[in-house]
């Protein structure tokens, strides 16, 4: 796979990390950043993984191709079907491959912001899922990146990408309303 080359005069990217506990609103904050950037004509690439809710209860995880808007079901609660088990979720290997292809295409074609929601146990402990995103981040081909990682996995991510400097944004119930604005300010200043 060929990554986009950095052009002459390129400075290293601003790499943002959105972190927080499960259910804090990390994906919601990222959705707000994406909306802001797209409204201003920036090309945002990558994947968002919003919850699938049924009757107000989280029953799975979707995956959204940020650029095209295409959406698929990535994981479901339970282990009744064939797939990759991570915690209480069964991940669809075909949909994982689709998500990886989105990230590969982004690395080849470029854009203004790469968003990866999320790097978790599948990538950091098992070497699966969106693990290729780690190589793309390390290559520094995007001027801005925003990566979601649970606070319990921050150390593992930093060990995997020691050459990168990250600006960390911790989501909490008290700050998630204004955090997207702070992220935008830092990524685009």
Domains and CATH numbers, the chain: 14-49+94-188 (3.40.50.300)
Q: How far apart are CA 10 and CA 105, in angstroms?
A: 21
Section 124-142 average pLDDT: 93
* pLDDT value for 75: 93
Evaluate if pTM is beyond 0.85: yes
Report how far apart the first and last C-alpha atoms of the chain are (Å, whole number): 31
* pLDDT value for 1: 46
Count other Cβ atoms within 10 Å, centred on residue 52. 17
For 69-108, what is each residue's pLDDT tens digit? 999 999 998 766 667 777 788 899 999 999 999 999 999 9
Q: Among residues of the chain, what percentage have pLDDT more than 70?
A: 92
Measured at the CA of 97, the angle between CA 26 and CA 13, to 5 degrees, comes to 50
Does residue 19 have a pLDDT over 90?
yes
Section 23-39 average pLDDT: 95
Count other Cβ atoms within 10 Å, centred on residue 185. 9
What is the overall mean pLDDT for the chain? 90
* pLDDT value for 14: 94
Buried b (16+ CB within 10 A) or exposed e, 66-97: bbeeeeeebbbbeeeeebeebeebbbbeebbe
Count other Cβ atoms within 10 Å, centred on residue 141. 21
* pLDDT value for 80: 66
Q: Among residues of the chain, what percentage have pLDDT more than 90?
A: 77
Q: How far apart are CA 9 and CA 94, in angstroms?
A: 39
């Amino acid at each position: 796979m060929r990554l986009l080359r950095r052009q002459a005069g390129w400075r290293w990217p601003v790499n943002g990390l959105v972190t927080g506990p499960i259910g804090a609103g990390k994906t919601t904050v990222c959705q707000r950043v994406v909306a802001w950037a797209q409204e201003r004509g920036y090309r945002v690439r990558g994947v968002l993984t919003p919850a699938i809710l049924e009757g107000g209860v989280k029953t799975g995880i979707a995956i959204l191709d940020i650029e095209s808007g295409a959406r698929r079901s990535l994981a479901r609660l339970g282990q009744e079907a064939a797939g990759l088990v991570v915690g209480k979720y069964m991940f669809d290997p075909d949909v994982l491959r689709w998500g990886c292809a989105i990230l590969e295409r982004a690395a080849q074609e470029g854009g203004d912001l790469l968003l990866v929601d999320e790097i978790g146990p599948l990538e950091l402990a098992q070497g699966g899922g969106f693990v290729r995103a780690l190589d793309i981040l390390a290559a520094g081909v995007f001027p801005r990146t925003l990566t979601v990682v649970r606070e319990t996995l921050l150390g593992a991510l930093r060990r995997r990408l020691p050459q990168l400097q990250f600006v960390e944004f911790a989501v909490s119930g008290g700050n998630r309303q204004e955090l997207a604005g702070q992220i935008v300010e830092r990524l685009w200043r």
